[in-house]
Amino acid sequence: MADIKRIFQVDGQPFFPLGGQAKNSSGYNRAEAETAFRALREMHGNTLEIPVYWEQVEPVEGTFVFDGVADLLALAGEYRCKLVLLWFATWKNGDMDYAPGWVKADQQRFRRVINPLGVPIWGLSPYCQANRDADANALAHLMGYLKEHDRERSVIAVQVENEPGTLWSDRDYAPEAEAIFQAPVPQDLVEAIAAAPESPVHAAWQMASAKKQGNWPELFGRYAGEYMNAWAICRYIDHITGCAKAVYDLPMYVNVWLAEQFFRLAGDYPSGGAVSPVLDIWLWTKKHLDLIAPDIYIPYTAGYRQICANYTRPDNPLFVPESGSMGPNAWQMMYAIGEYNAIGYASFGIEHILDDEGAVVPAAQQAVESFRAVAEAIPLLLQYQGTDRIHAIAQEENQSEQFLDLEGWYGVVTFGYGTPGFVGRDWRHATSGNRRVLDATLPRGRGLLFQADRNTFYLVGGAYQLHLCRKGSWGSMASFTMLRDFHLDRQGHFVTVDEGHFEEGAFVVDRRRNGDEIDHGAWVEPDIRVLRVVMSD
């Protein structure tokens, strides 16, 4: 059993933020922002992530304007949702686009990164104190405004910067950065590296020298530039975070542009960001940040699950602030939530799920239904995450069955719509017709299974059905091959199968099932909300 660190709270109680992130520039005006709020409602989400821009908040140095933030707070009240504000300032995807004009225009005071050729690039240097202090001052003013004006406490967290790091160079080559590069590596960092033999940073240190003292190139060889940049950027952002929390102490995190999508070198992705190989440097360096959160767009399951594993740690619970709003995300999110105990989940660009009439586009339908299923299961997630009682259901390509080893039971999840020629659902879901199990037009099976006690199960999701066989009553897991060949004669007997939902933590029955509707297993679809199954001994 794992202890889940619930970073997000509402009214002093654990909260699971579920929803989406608005497009990058959707926060500039109320009309465009409202599209994201409408999309969140269609997703059955409870939290919208939306940017706040330094250039808009402080258009003139020392003059602060919060009209846009006031609009966001008002919309959150109207749509009855929570907000995570994304602070676009020194960094947005590795560059300085959202810094105010007065910062961009003054290169002497607000110094930019210098690349190895001696050329300034479009990014503020993390080694320039003026950059850091100006950013910190602006965010502190934003936090002061929230503390005074967010009376409904709609804002539950702030993302500090967005995918920070240095593009097109592994680090800053300006004189002050070069001086740090040639100076001794901080001793506390070296000691942390030496004491962590499982860390990729430790492996690089061993390969380069394994020295307990020395400068960055002496200790880390070819990785020195990115390692120093990670340390410097973390210190920069953590300082800003500390200043902000001193004004108003909300949860704060930083998100990550991953390096794993392609075989890339530092600088092709934002060097110094908290990518997997340098995640330890960030976690050892930060003092005020609550989370390091990966933006996961990897479309294939093995890669997706590896990122979840990399960022799921006792000192860093998994939070996914960005993911795809369509396609594989419809079922991959079940791995993050069910297997890696994600404490929140969001899709990027949620405005895209709506057509011009405000309806969900067909390409997003499965993802929207998956979010609906997870939303219904939030009380169960808060209760059972960190235990062995949650199981992710996810149908990979060409997969017809998924086997589960449960307490007292073997479970077989079958995907599609029952045996060929028999749908096995009810009149509300009969339109699926007599299509074959692996018909490519059918939605992928996905969802979550919770085993509350030995004989009680809760199911959410869609396009799958669960069959249970009591352990010891008939064979072993190997005996379930080609389950459909004997028409499920070996499954256990149900005491009750109820559709329902949760109210204030209690399960409320909406509809009882029996007869033909349970003969072919406990099936589930998003529109039935939660299915509770009680088995007979």
The domain defined by 391-535 folds into: Chondroitinase Ac; Chain A, domain 3 (2.60.220)
| Dist CA 460 CA 193 (whole Å) | 43
Q: Helix, strand, coil shares of the chain as percentages rounded to 5? A: 35, 25, 40
The residue extents of the domains of the chain are: 14-172+231-361, 391-535
Q: Checking DSSP bridges between strand 252-257 and strand 155-162, what pairing results, if any?
A: parallel
Per-residue pLDDT at 389 exceeds 80: yes
Per-residue pLDDT at 486 exceeds 50: no
Classify the C-alpha dihedral 284-287-291-296 as positive or negative.
negative
* Averaged pLDDT, 61-70: 98
| H or E element at residue 256 | strand 252-257
pLDDT in tens, 13-65: 999 999 999 999 999 999 999 999 999 999 999 999 999 999 999 999 999 99
User: How much is the pLDDT for 479?
Assistant: 53
User: How much is the pLDDT for 537?
Assistant: 85
CB 257 within 8 A of CB 94: yes
Task: State what percent of residues in the chain have pLDDT above 90.
Answer: 82
**Residue 9: other Cβ atoms inside 10 A:** 14
Per-residue pLDDT at 208 exceeds 60: yes
CATH architecture for residues 14-172+231-361? Alpha-Beta Barrel (3.20)
User: How much is the pLDDT for 400?
Assistant: 87
User: How much is the pLDDT for 81?
Assistant: 98
Taking the CA atoms of residue 446, residue 451, residue 452 and residue 456 in that order, the dihedral angle to the nearest 10 degrees is: 100
**Residue 360: other Cβ atoms inside 10 A:** 16
pLDDT in tens, 518-529: 887 899 999 999
Sheet holding 82-92, edge to edge: 322-323, 291-296, 252-257, 155-162, 82-92, 47-53, 18-21, 345-348
User: How much is the pLDDT for 328?
Assistant: 85
Question: Which has the higher per-residue pLDDT, 508 or 324?
Answer: 508
Q: Which of 238, 239, 49, 64 is nearest to 149 (CA)?
A: 64
Q: What pairs with residue 82 in β-bridges?
A: 47
Lowest-confidence pick of 118-122, 207-211, 247-251: 207-211
Lowest-confidence pick of 23-27, 140-144, 228-232: 23-27
Where does the pLDDT of residue 472 fall: very low under 50, low under 70, confident under 90, or very high at 90 and above?
Answer: confident
User: How much is the pLDDT for 459?
Assistant: 98
Question: Which has the higher per-residue pLDDT, 54 or 209?
Answer: 54
pTM above 0.85, yes or no: yes
Where does the pLDDT of residue 534 fall: very low under 50, low under 70, confident under 90, or very high at 90 and above?
Answer: very high
pLDDT in tens, 333-343: 999 999 999 99
* Number of helices (H), then strands (E), in the chain: 16, 22
* C-alpha distances out from residue 495 to 411, 413, 525, Å: 17, 19, 21
Per-residue pLDDT at 398 exceeds 80: yes
| Dist CA 261 CA 429 (whole Å) | 39
Per-residue pLDDT at 491 exceeds 70: yes
Per-residue pLDDT at 436 exceeds 50: no
Per-residue pLDDT at 437 exceeds 60: no
Per-residue pLDDT at 190 exceeds 70: yes
The three-class DSSP label of residue 206 is helix
C-alpha 102, offset from chain centre: 34
Per-residue pLDDT at 476 exceeds 60: no
The three-class DSSP label of residue 511 is strand
Per-residue pLDDT at 423 exceeds 90: no
HEC states along 275-341? CHHHHHHHHHHCCCCCEEEEEECCCCHHHHHHHHHHHCECCECCCECEECCCCCHHHHHHHHHHCCC
